[in-house]
Amino acid sequence: MSLLAVNLLDGLVTGLLLFMLCSGLTLIFSMMGVLNFAHASFYMLGAYFAYQISTYVGFWPGLIIAPLAVGLAGAAIERYGLRRVHQYGHVPELIFTFGLALLIEELVQFFWGKSHMAYYEPEILNFTAFSIAGNSFPAYKVFMIFVAIGIFLVLLYILTRTRIGLIIQAALSYPNTVQNLGHNVPLVFMGVFGVGTAMAGLAGVIAGPVLGTFPGMAVLLGSIVFVTIVIGGLGSLWGALIASLLIGWMQTFAASYNVTMTDILLAIGIDKPVDLSDNPLRDLWTLTLPQIGPILPYLLMVLVLVIRPRGLLGKRET
């Protein structure tokens, strides 16, 4: 029972961190139709900017300044780069954002090198918040949970209760109508892209001390971000939250329980062959749940696309 509680909490932290990274991209992807392969690179930039700022003025100013700097950089990239490429179709956009991701990674290595940065949580949060059956839960993870929940509530309020939120939601499906009503849709696009990249930067600021700040951190989360927004559905903030939590818990539980495929197959009524040497599925019987844990989100994505192509709570077809 204690292991279950620990896994629930760890999966919650992982899922909410993933949500912070995905919430901005789900709006960018659904509104602009842009597959921004560089989104995880902005997450990496947030961590490195916060690390650099923390060496001079501490963690807390970096928590505010770094996401703003990343958001401004994202808005500038949309205004002077992506907007000009957008008119030529999706393939040039893919090439642009893919090249941008490579460029950001090279710039990070040029300025900070290839080593892990000594970026740690603030001293005020460096203690154990509580313990469950001897397993300590750090106060910094509690802080991460509250920040992610706060971001979700703020975004939900803006999108559903404010004028700019209504304009953004209308521009998701009816950009020409919104343009004809006198709203500056390109400015809305630039603002949403900037806010989306700032959200990725904030996720990097929060995750850097826990997951490590190094040049490959964007690659580790790059693909899972797109899987999450496809599962949740384009344009749905609730969908992004639910998909992030599902993936967070799925991977956490898969890594914690050493269940073999033999146990699973026997449980569903499939008998194990007496001689596995000539069986074409012999490798399947030797797999364990921790080994297949990393591919479970992709299997879930395939299942969701088969049953509901627009995602769990999506408003548009993927």
Q: What is the per-residue pLDDT across 137-178, written as a single tens digit (0 to 9) for each?
A: 889 999 999 999 998 888 888 877 888 777 777 776 677 787
CA distances from 130 to 8, 13, 141, 144, 146 (A): 15, 15, 11, 15, 16
Q: Is the CB of residue 224 less than 8 Å from the CB of residue 207?
A: no
| Pairwise CA distance, residues 24 & 185, whole Å | 17
Of the listed ranges 185-194, 197-206, 286-295, 302-311, the one predicted with least confidence: 286-295
Structure tokens at 296: 């479970």
| Pairwise CA distance, residues 254 & 275, whole Å | 28
Res 318: pLDDT: 45
Res 280: pLDDT: 62
**Identity of the amino acid at 25:** L
Mean pLDDT of the region 297-305: 91
| Pairwise CA distance, residues 28 & 62, whole Å | 25
Does residue 317 surpass a pLDDT of 60?
no
Question: What letter would DSSP give residue 79?
Answer: I
Q: Give the model confidence (pLDDT) of 100-138 as tens digits.
A: 999 999 999 999 998 889 898 998 998 888 887 677 888
Is the backbone of residue 119 left (phi > 0), alpha (psi -120 to 50) or beta? beta
Share of the chain above pLDDT 90, in %: 32
Does residue 206 surpass a pLDDT of 60?
yes
Mean pLDDT of the region 194-221: 90
Q: Which residues contact 176 (CB under 8 A, 6 or more apart)?
A: none
Element (H, E) at 262: helix 261-267
Q: Which residue has the tokens 């961190």?
A: 17
| Pairwise CA distance, residues 151 & 58, whole Å | 22
| Pairwise CA distance, residues 273 & 285, whole Å | 9
Res 33: pLDDT: 67
Mean pLDDT of the region 31-44: 82
Res 44: pLDDT: 94
Mean pLDDT of the region 242-252: 92
Q: Write out the E strands in 23-134.
A: 128-132
CA distances from 44 to 145, 212, 240, 245 (A): 20, 10, 20, 21
Mean pLDDT of the region 38-67: 93
Res 221: pLDDT: 82
Is the backbone of residue 184 left (phi > 0), alpha (psi -120 to 50) or beta? beta
Does residue 183 surpass a pLDDT of 70?
yes
Q: Give the model confidence (pLDDT) of 258-279 as tens digits.
A: 777 776 766 777 666 666 666 6
| Pairwise CA distance, residues 125 & 145, whole Å | 13
Res 24: pLDDT: 80
311: how many CB neighbours lie within 10 A of its CB? Answer: 28
Res 111: pLDDT: 93
φ, ψ of residue 116 to 5 degrees: the values are: -70, 140
| Pairwise CA distance, residues 296 & 142, whole Å | 26
Res 315: pLDDT: 62
| Pairwise CA distance, residues 211 & 208, whole Å | 6
Res 205: pLDDT: 94
Q: Which residues contact 162 (CB under 8 A, 6 or more apart)?
A: none
Helix (H, G, I), strand (E, B) or coil at 212: coil
pLDDT, the chain, mean: 84
pLDDT band at 202 (very low <50, low <70, confident <90, very high): very high
Q: Is the pTM of this model over 0.95?
A: no
